[in-house]
Amino acid sequence: EIVLTQSPGTLSLSPGERATLSCRASESVSSAYLAWYQQKPGQAPRLLIYGGSTRDTGIPDRFSGSGSETDFTLTITGLEPEDFAVYYCQQYGTSPGFGGGTKVEIK
């Protein structure tokens, strides 16, 4: 079973700043099988990125995904007020799973 570890647990930033979120896998994951989600309180997760770097329909280009093998990154360039939320990475290989999440909070 592949374990995904996200860091940091919490990121305190101001609007306009750049957020860099990390997702590390316990073994190699094809970038084609890595996704990122945003979740706000009381809501279902929302898909941001799939295939490691492809934005879903309607996702602003300030969100970008990168990485390969065991190290993946979600970058948000220029945080907007609506971006403060919890972010999860997901690998969807043979046995899908999620990372523990990173909370992006207002500093």
Residue carrying structure tokens 């945003």: 38
Q: What is the DSSP string of 20-68?
A: EEEEEEEEEE-GGGEEEEEE-TTS--EEEEETTTEEPTT--TTEEEEEE
Closest CA to 12 of 97, 61, 98, 79: 79
Q: Is 45 in the site for another protein (CB under 8 A)?
A: yes
Chain residues 69-88 in contact with another protein, contact rule CB under 8 A: 88
Q: CB of 28: closest distance to another protein in angstroms?
A: 17
**Residue 39 or 73 with smaller CB distance to another protein:** 39
Which residue of 14, 16, 44, 61 would you call a contact of another protein, by CB under 8 A? 44
**Residue 18 or 40 with smaller CB distance to another protein:** 40
| Residue 32: φ, ψ to 5° | -70, -15
Q: What mask of x and - would describe binding to another protein in positions 13 to 42, judged by CB under 8 A?
A: --------------------x-x-x-x---
Any residues with CB less than 8 A from the CB of 56 and at least 6 apart, and which?
A: 47, 48, 49, 50
Q: Which residues bind another protein (CB under 8 A)?
A: 1, 33, 35, 37, 39, 44-47, 50-51, 56, 88, 90, 92-101
